[in-house]
Structure 1
Amino acid sequence: MATVALAITDGMLHLELSLACEVFGADVTHIVDPWYDFWLCGPSAVRVDRFRVQPDHGLDHLARADTVIVPGWADTDCDPPADLVDAVRTAHEAGARVASLCTGAFILAAAGLLDGKRATTHWAHTAELARRRPKVTVDPDVLYVDNGSVLTSAGKAAAMDLCLHLVRLDHGASVANKIARRLVVPPHRDGGQAQFIATPVPEPGTHPLADLFPWILERLDEPLTVEDLAGQARMSSRHLGRHFKQLTGTTPLQWLHTQRIRHAQELLETTDDTIDAIATATGMGTATTLRRHFARTVGVPPDSYRRTFRVQPRPGSVQARGLQPDGLLPAQ
């Protein structure tokens, strides 16, 4: 069983901390078994907003974890605690995958883990992070960045997107989608999407596109065009594009492409269908087309992906992490 350690200290933001606990610390063995062994690591009892949290272990335990999560940190105007920074750096040097949520990126930056890398944080703090850490390439426009062994997310809901991305890398798309459904959150927001999205997922009946998304997902095997989608939504193609950008941060065809790739991942994990059959079921047409787009988006060919997730790697292992090429944003 792989271990996920949450690095905590006084002044952590409770929402990002709670999200990580809910994703990695909940008992979901009815969905997948084994799940993660989850630790809270910090110096004695720590204060998180108005709450006090009792860690399971000291910060030295971070070096024994496979994955270390650093939640958002409230006081970004000050240098983060030296003992926390040192413990996170030591854990990474020991081989841990390290991920920050929201302003936790300031702690990773202080540890030197973001030097020479692309990173993100909450959009309201990206300019400050870039000013204080000039060796870091700060991207203010994405939900999260995956550099392989070091990952960073934007704020609030984007923290959940990164947590689910880690689950997808370790356990596959099917398990990640089940965890997302359990939490009643969208499973398909990729890292390259824009941070500032007014309404990421519309409630049924609350938006002109609310009924279009399920209609598309039921027809992924069909050769859908922007004109088809606009006709179903009863609006012009230009109007459709504006609504899609507002809701998803991407274009209709980019969103459709992502859904087809995710559906292909699930079919590869859960069925014995041939690559040709999966290409047909996902609207890719031919096995050649599916292989090209799948490898470009996921980072490995469909056959390799199937072998990886049919024989489950240990979560957090090099094999599991290898599905995301170093330094790349998850493609849309």
Structure 2
Amino acid sequence: MLKTVAALVMDGTAAFELGVVCEVFGVDRTEDGVPAFDFRVCGEHPGRPLTSTGFQIVPTYGFDAVEDADLILVPAVAGPSVDYPPAIIEVVRAAAARGTTLLTVCSGAFLLAEAGILDGLRCTLHWKHAEEFAERYPDTKVDPDVLFVDEGSVITSAGTAAGIDACLHLVRRELGSAVANAIARRMIVPPQRDGGQRQFIDLPVPETECDSLQPVLDWMLDNLTADFSTARLARRARMSERTFARRFVAETGTTPLRWITLQRVLHARRLLEETSLAVEEIANACGLGSGALLRHHFHRAVGVTPADYRRSFSCAQ
């Protein structure tokens, strides 16, 4: 049962991510049937101002107020490469040992990883930090495609607004759908969002490390509707099919079919954002042939359907 909720803050705590958890757990919504939470913003030195983005945060409570909390929230800190004070690391370690539920927003996952709490667990955070996180904490399984990961007593969420998804998920899990829906209605957000953060990831056209295949790749991008058989591409590269296939994987990390399919999906994504073309027209323009094939590959690569993606990102509506 969620009764006492504590948010941990330190110098550099991101204001928006702190605001997200305050909005879910710090606002009195008892008139809507939401149980009252004993919400506390806790810092190492209560009453001492902490730096944030353009202003200061002044925690009302010290870290001793965390000891009886049912839930501890860890907002992002501006920039993942920070030196966490030993005191805040000890706070989350002790909480984990007690079995307290911990929920992070965005780069807040770095704090739990520094404390060793995420070892052997699956987690997520903002896709921009996923590669660095995976390199620094190889014992943690990072999933950059989802909005949040629930590992029971540890919940991690992706960038910024995904913290809302994680908080509402936890409320739903502990207090039921009616309470989560009531909070979501007041916040004017969906109780549950479809898809993961793949739909928000910038996927630039990959470049090869050397220039041997770059002219072929450029030609493929300029002719997305063409038939790209290995034999045809090998002739264009003046190589045998076997050599071409081996060189292509070495330079791009994938096969010609998978590479061109991703480029077609990326082009479809741009057309969904910038035009009002029908899905069938976009499929033809990208070389995918049919709307059904576009939907299949698009959902596989981006995590949502073309229609859902257009509703969220279109500039032509």
Name the counterpart of 1:164.
168
Letter in 2 for 1:8: V
- Shift of the alpha carbon at 1:237? 4.3
Q: Work out whether residues 13 and 72 of structure 1, in 8 Å CA contact, stay in contact via their aligned partners in 2.
A: yes
Give the equivalent residue in structure 2 for 1:179. Answer: 183
* TM-superposed deviation, 1:207: 9.9
Q: Which residue of 2 aligns with 1:8?
A: 9
Structure 1: unaligned runs, 5 residues or longer: 200-205, 209-234, 253-332
The answer (yes or no) to whether the contact 2:17–2:163 under 8 Å persists in 1 is yes
Question: Matched residues in 1 for 2:157 and 2:200: separation?
Answer: 18
Q: Deviation of residue 240 (structure 1)?
A: 5.6
**Aligned counterpart, 2:249:** none
- Residue 197 of structure 1 deviates from its aligned partner by 2.0
Matched to 2:184, the amino acid is A
Partner of 1:32: 33
Query: How many residues in Structure 1 have an aligned counterpart in Structure 2?
Result: 218
Residue aligned with 2:72, SS = strand
Looking at structure 1, the residues matched to 119 and 161 of structure 2 have their Cα atoms a distance apart, in angstroms, of 25
Which segments of 5 or more consecutive residues in structure 2 lack a partner in the other structure? 202-273, 277-289, 307-317
Structure 1 stretch displaced more, 54-63 or 19-28: 54-63
Residue identity opposite 2:199 in structure 1: I
> Which has the higher Rg, Structure 1 or Structure 2?
2
Q: Distance in 2 between matches of 1:164 and 1:121?
A: 17
Cα distance in 1 for partners of 2:181, 2:299 equals 22
The equivalences for 1:200-279 within 5 A come to 236-238=291-293, 249-250=303-304
Tell me the SS of whatever aligns to 1:30.
helix
Q: Matches of residues 179-198 of structure 1 in structure 2 within 5 Å?
A: 179-189=183-193, 193-198=195-200
The equivalent position to 1:49 in structure 2, one of 42, 49, 53, is 53
Match of 1:69 among 50, 66, 73: 73
Q: Is the 8 A contact 1:7 1:40 kept in 2?
A: yes
1:43 and 1:135 map into 2 onto residues whose CA distance is 29
Matches for 1:283-294 after TM superposition, within 5 Å: none
| CA offsets 1:20-77 (integer angstroms, 9 cap, x no match) | 0001001110112432110101023322222222212111221210000000011322
1:97, 1:158 → 2: CA distance? 18
Q: Distance in 2 between matches of 1:148 and 1:28?
A: 26
Measure how far apart 1:115 and its partner are: 0.4
Does residue 79 (structure 1) correspond to residue 83 (structure 2)? The answer is: yes
Taking structure 1 as reference, are residues 207 and 31 closer, same or farther at Cα in structure 2, changes over 3 Å only? farther
Q: Hey, which bits of structure 1, 4+ residues long, moved more than 6 A?
A: 242-246
Equivalent residue of 2:120, what SS?
Answer: coil
State the structure with bigger RCO (CA 8 A, min sep 6), 1 or 2.
1
**Shift in Å at residue 96 of structure 1?**
1.0
| Identical aligned residues as a percent | 44
Mapped partners of 1:5, 1:149: distance in 2: 15
Distance (whole Å) between structure 1 residues aligned to residue 61 and residue 116 of structure 2:
24
CA–CA distance in 2 between the matches of 1:105 and 1:12? 13
Instruction: Decide whether aligned partners of structure 1 residues 242 and 134 sit closer, same or farther in structure 2, where only a CA change above 3 A counts.
Output: closer
Kindly report the root-mean-square deviation, in angstroms, between the aligned alpha carbons of the 2 structures. Answer: 2.7
Q: Amino acid of the residue matched to residue 196 of structure 1?
A: R
* 1:122 matched residue in structure 2: 126
Q: CA deviation at 1:159?
A: 1.1
